[in-house]
Amino acid sequence: MKDTHPGKALKFCPFCGSKPFVWDNKKAHHCIACKRRLYTNAAGAVVALIENQQHEILFTLRKFDPAKGKLDLPGGFIDLGEKAEDAVVREVKEELNLEVNAITFFGTFPNTYTFNHYTYFTIDMVFRCSILNVKQIQANDDVADFRFVHPKHVNLDDIGLDSIKHLVGLLQQQQDY
């Protein structure tokens, strides 16, 4: 991750174009020329936890990198000005053609997402989502396929993103699963 980390990838100040643009090894770059700082903050992302009556979770299969071909859960980045609750509803519709009729907040999980040789830091907000009718389900957008799988039957190595591995690992430890 070192070559894709913002501390290594960003070389010039976006404000004045000068170099050196120095990473503080914590959370910000400092421009030597114009004295401005650019902070690297976590981007908001959402994850949908959709469960059927058999306590199986709706997993997707990633169509593109990062983690192409690996298991994931429906979700994605929150658009600018968008509420997290609206983002999870939108993402489920875009990726699976499903209508969410109720959501409840589950928790947050930090993550990294490397795309085009640049690492983004995210905070993944997980929502339990209920769906009225799964009959219209279809793989769309960046989803290659989907399947319902009981969390206890999932090999964590088959999951592509660390936050999803952590979430599924927690579900595997719960007594009611």
Measure the CA angle with vertex 74, ends 113 and 156; round to 5°.
65
Distance separating alpha carbons of residues 151 and 159, to the nearest angstrom: 11
In this prediction the pTM is 0.92
- DSSP state at residue 51: B
pLDDT digit of tens for each residue in the chain (177 aa)? 458 999 999 999 999 999 989 999 999 999 999 999 999 999 999 999 999 999 999 999 999 999 999 999 999 999 999 999 999 999 999 999 999 999 999 999 999 999 999 999 999 999 999 998 999 999 999 999 999 999 999 999 999 999 999 999 999 998 676
Q: How many residues does the chain have?
A: 177
Give the per-residue pLDDT at 98: 97
Domains annotated for the chain, with CATH where assigned, are 6-39 (no CATH), 43-173 (3.90.79.10)
Query: Phi and psi dihedrals of 28, rounded to 5?
Result: -150, 155
Distance separating alpha carbons of residues 44 and 64, to the nearest angstrom: 20
